[in-house]
């Protein structure tokens, strides 16, 4: 479940994970806390064995020091545990610092891009978010190693923007801007960006039969979301558009993607909710004089139960059909290779402990 506007779906106490963080320092002008998540998840994909893994567990430290009444210095470092090729490895996820004032917050370093902060109408824990993952986050994976981010939260609107430095093509060049507001009970946001990676590695497909090549890929994308809460229910809709072009070839190679995401969540109790979503993506591709089109459908249904303010268990069913260019869901630690899904069903159960 990504970072969307649906905080009203369940009581704030149950989703405010930072409230459970262990305070290392908390005195006038100084605040440092230690936070984290322990994740375990069981997954079953069609024609594959059941897997049990760490589910992208992580831990980190947040710090904020007051320079004066109008300026704070802030910073975060975070490490995660990932499972790959039969072993668990710890790696840095985030490392950034900056300053905050009444005019907004600037941070610099390895951090999530604005698209990952904003996300869209995806209320899943495992199988949703394909529209965003296949368009906005297809190349970046939702993070940039040399990012400059600006965030502002006002009384009537907010702004989230990221600029990523290419550093002589060792990183991708990135620029994003999103703006959000609330009107007549509707939460709205829209924005987009561009991404240019001169050394992007095109990986193998799900059948592992394509050679890896290095490509100069340029991408532009747009996203718009509207959400509305009706008592215990929240409904959201997101439209995404993304275009990709390979630049280092004499042959025109492009892919255009239009994606639609419709999702809802309903609180059946103060500590339990059910959710579901329908996602549809339409692809148009050109390779020289050849062109093709295809589509991809994802449906998910699930439920989450909060044992208390610092732990939860959830279960989800996912259905996928059609062709996909591939995507990665970092929040669930799952990767879907490009290829074709023939009405495939997947199941997953997860458990998280927060501090």
With respect to residue 87, please indicate whether it lies within any of the assigned structural domains: yes
- For residue 213, the model assigns a pLDDT of 57
Q: Provide the pLDDT for residue 5.
A: 40
1 within domain boundaries: no
Asked if residue 328 is part of any domain, the answer here is: yes
CB atoms within 10 A of CB 189: 23
In whole angstroms, what is the distance from residue 149 CA to residue 157 CA?
17
Q: In the chain, how many domains are there?
A: 1
For residues 280 and 259, what is the distance between their CA atoms, to the nearest angstrom? 6
Distance CA 228, CA 222 (A): 21
Q: Give the CATH number for residue 317.
A: 2.40.160.10
Inside any domain, residue 140: yes
Q: What pLDDT score was predicted for residue 122?
A: 96
Mean pLDDT by 10 residues, the chain (355 residues): 40 39 84 93 93 88 95 96 69 96 97 95 94 78 94 96 92 95 96 86 54 74 97 97 83 88 98 98 86 93 96 97 72 64 94 95
104 within a domain of the structure (yes/no): yes
Range of the domain at 313: 6-354
Whether this model's pTM surpasses 0.85: yes
Residue 142 lies in a domain: yes
Who contacts 331 (Cβ-Cβ below 8 Å, separation ≥6)? 1, 2, 56, 125
What whole-number distance in Å separates Cα of residue 19 and Cα of residue 39?
Answer: 18
Helix (H, G, I), strand (E, B) or coil at 310: coil
Residues 6+ away with beta carbon under 8 Å from 323: 283, 294, 295, 296, 339, 340, 341
Start-to-end C-alpha separation, the chain: 18
Q: Looking at residue 156, what is its pLDDT?
A: 93
pLDDT at residue 337, rounded to an integer: 64
Quick one: pLDDT at residue 225?
Answer: 98
Residue listed under structure tokens 């059946």? 268
């Amino acid at each position: 479940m990504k970072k969307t506007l649906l905080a009203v779906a369940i009581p704030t106490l149950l989703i405010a994970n930072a409230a459970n963080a262990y305070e290392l320092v908390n005195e006038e002008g100084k605040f440092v806390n230690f936070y984290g998540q322990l994740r375990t998840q069981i997954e079953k994909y069609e024609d594959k064995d059941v897997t049990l893994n760490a589910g992208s567990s992580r831990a980190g430290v947040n710090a904020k020091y007051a320079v004066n009444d109008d300026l704070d210095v802030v910073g975060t470092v975070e490490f995660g545990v990932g499972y790959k090729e039969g072993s668990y490895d710890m790696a840095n996820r985030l490392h950034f610092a900056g300053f905050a004032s009444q005019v907004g917050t600037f941070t610099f370093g390895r951090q999530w891009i604005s698209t990952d902060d904003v996300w869209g109408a995806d209320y899943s824990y495992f199988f949703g978010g394909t529209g965003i993952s296949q368009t906005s986050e297809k190349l970046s994976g939702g993070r940039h190693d040399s990012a400059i981010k600006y965030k502002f939260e006002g009384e009537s609107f907010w702004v989230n923007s990221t600029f990523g430095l290419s550093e002589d093509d060792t990183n991708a060049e990135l620029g994003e801007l999103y703006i959000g507001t609330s009107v007549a009970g509707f939460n709205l946001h829209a924005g987009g960006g561009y991404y240019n990676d001169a050394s992007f590695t095109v990986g193998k497909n799900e059948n592992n039969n394509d050679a890896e090549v290095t490509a100069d890929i340029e991408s532009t994308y747009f996203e718009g979301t509207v959400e509305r809460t009706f008592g215990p229910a929240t409904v959201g809709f997101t439209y995404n558009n993304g275009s990709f072009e390979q630049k280092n070839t004499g042959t025109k190679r492009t892919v255009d993607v239009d994606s639609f995401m419709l999702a809802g969540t309903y609180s059946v109790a103060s500590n339990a909710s059910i959710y579901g979503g329908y996602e549809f993506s339409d692809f148009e591709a050109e390779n020289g004089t050849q062109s093709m089109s295809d589509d991809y459908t994802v449906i998910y249904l699930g439920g989450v139960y909060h044992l208390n303010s610092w732990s939860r268990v959830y279960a989800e069913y996912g259905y996928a059909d059609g062709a996909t260019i591939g995507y990665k869901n970092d929040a669930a630690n799952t990767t879907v290779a490009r290829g074709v899904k023939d009405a495939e069903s997947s199941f997953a159960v997860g458990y998280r402990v927060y501090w």
